[in-house]
Amino acid sequence: MAQRLPGWWRVRSLLLPHAAALNRKRLGGVTFIGITGSAGKTTAKNLARAVLSTTAKTRSSTATANTFEGVMSTVFATKPSDDFCVVELSAAPKGYLDRSLATVRPKIGVVTSIGTDHLKKYHSIEAIAEAKSHVIRCLPADGVAVLNADDPLVIAMADRSPCRVITYGATEAAMVRAHNIRSAWPERLAFTAVYQSQSVEVRSQLCGAQWISAILAALGIGIAAGIPLEKAARAVETVEPYPGRMYPLAGKDGITFIVDDWKSGLWTVASVFEFLKAAHAGRKVLIVGTLSDYGGAAARTYTRTAVSALEAADQVIFVGPMASHALRAKGPENADRIHAFATIKAAAEFLPSLLQKGDLVVLKGTVTADHLGRLAHNWIEPISCWSMACRKMMPCSSCNELRAKVQETPRQQDAGLTATSAQTRESMAPVELPDLTGPFEVVVGIGNPGERYRNTPHNVGFEAIDILAEKLGLDWTVYGSAALAHGERNGKTVLLLKPQTYVNNLGKTLKELSEAMGFAAENCILIQDDINLPLGKLRSRARGSDGGHKGIRSALTAFQTNEFRRLKIGVAPAEQPRVMAEYFVKPFSSEATAIIKPVIKEAAERILSELEKPRSGVASAQRTQTSEEGRAVVR
């Protein structure tokens, strides 16, 4: 059998570094500028290109091509007739930067800032600074280092520079300084730039004071290249915000979106808070996607971020798989101001009921996880792409799939964990429910319907509630999308519930029933499997985030609260399965069954003990929908 030749992209990745190195040898007359830093590289590069282009032929990296391959492509495309080449340099993963510098050999080196991006790779912010300092340490004796004086880790690199240093910042010690900074929206960033005896007004098109560093870096590059400060300042004013970096989009109904969805390292979120606090708008709305590059527990990080967000904005929305963590910040005083959705599409469907004329909406997310900009694009004109697994490193506005005309096809089932079309239609049909009155104690067993899912990790909740029903002497009746059993206990209505849709659709089913029957999240006890808990362990929680359980996540976002009591049954496998989704719906082994069965019975006993306790202080929710006969109806 003939061996398959590698694809062209593989051949290109092998040949490109050699071709770029050969081309670099004939570019002795081109001055290369290398820009690195944890934030602001792309904007600084675009500004520097505009400044240098006022007097010379200038080439630069395209878009955000700062990886090793992207840098090699830029070097390979540079011609001897070019005067300058501005290259954006990434330091992740380890080794990228040094490999790039070996070919680029910059004469002017710039470091914009040091943050916690790639903290997991480098383990400390000092190690990140050390890696980025190589841009300065590799400069020739007749080169120029342009350093941010406002960042202690950056300005410390001046001692390692083998050449002339130009510092910039808001501090008086900086050589290129920014005074009289103005950036309160709707005003764009403006300030007075001072260098030696010169003083020039700079009126940029950028949104937010966080871009001071990028603009001053470009002015510093201009000074290093011998360009007058006044000419450099005028060039800066021509540069528009780059998509995904505090990029403004005017929507219908007088609503403006600021799209900052390229990356959302925790350390960068504070600048968005400051922008919102200073902004002048009818209302300020902040939508936060996936946070990155933080230490400690996700639940704590998202909760703290949500608390700070509520101080900066009138309305706060979290989107994505971690969104439910933010609900921990919810309380009586802000219950109507914070919201969480697991998907971009769910958030988009919610926005029309929230946004008002004159609102300023800031989107802060990560391009590899969220593409939050779709919320703005959809507001302007409906889009067709709602993928939560898009890894494209490009703005949505440049993607052909954003508004592609796609034919609706039945969704393929994911290991049996989502509802079938027939079940969805059944759950939509009106069904008469039993006429019950509170106060309620609602016990929800989580699992997948059908015989094939018996004795599987995802169905331990079903098994526990079946035992509980038997102990209480209650019988099951199926009402459309749910099997119910009910009775009286200590003056309370006990309602046992097994959703007849799959686990991931728990929230929709439970919310419909709550509205029809008149119970609330705080009336519920959810019996769930927990993959993070050792097999056979039980754990109770009074409230909290979803812990990665998609069924729980759907419940928290459907009710917009984390006030669900939960009993978790540990189902962690002895060994990591090849496909985790398959593990949830495959029967336990005989060894695991022997461990889990007694624990399921214990879980039922624990719930029974909970039901025996008097419960006060929880008001029954009012019924929101009844049939003509006054009986509850679920759709």
Closest to 100 (Cα-Cα) out of 128, 145, 70: 70
Q: What is the pLDDT of residue 79?
A: 97
Q: What is the pLDDT of residue 426?
A: 42
Q: What is the pLDDT of residue 306?
A: 97
- Report d(CA 322, CA 536) in Å as an integer: 26
| DSSP codes joined into one string, 440-473 | EEEEEE----SGGGTTSGGGHHHHHHHHHHHHHT
Domain boundaries, the chain: 16-236, 247-394, 429-634
- Report d(CA 290, CA 319) in Å as an integer: 7
- Tell me, yes or no, if 123 is annotated catalytic: no
- Report d(CA 530, CA 513) in Å as an integer: 24
Give Cβ neighbours of residue 583 (< 8 Å, ≥ 6 apart): 457, 573, 577
Q: What is the pLDDT of residue 94?
A: 75
Compute φ and ψ for 315, nearest 5 degrees. Answer: -135, 140
CATH number of the structural domain 247-394: 3.90.190.20
Q: What is the pLDDT of residue 391?
A: 77
Q: Which of 134, 325, 371, 458 is catalytic?
A: 458
What CATH topology corresponds to 429-634? Rossmann fold (3.40.50)
Q: What is the pLDDT of residue 410?
A: 36
Write out residues in the chain with pLDDT < 70, as ranges: 1-12, 405-431, 614-635
Closest to 103 (Cα-Cα) out of 65, 70, 59: 70
* pLDDT tens, residue by residue, 318-327: 999 999 999 9
- Report d(CA 395, CA 60) in Å as an integer: 19
Query: Could you say which architecture CATH assigns to the domain 16-236?
Result: 3-Layer(aba) Sandwich (3.40)
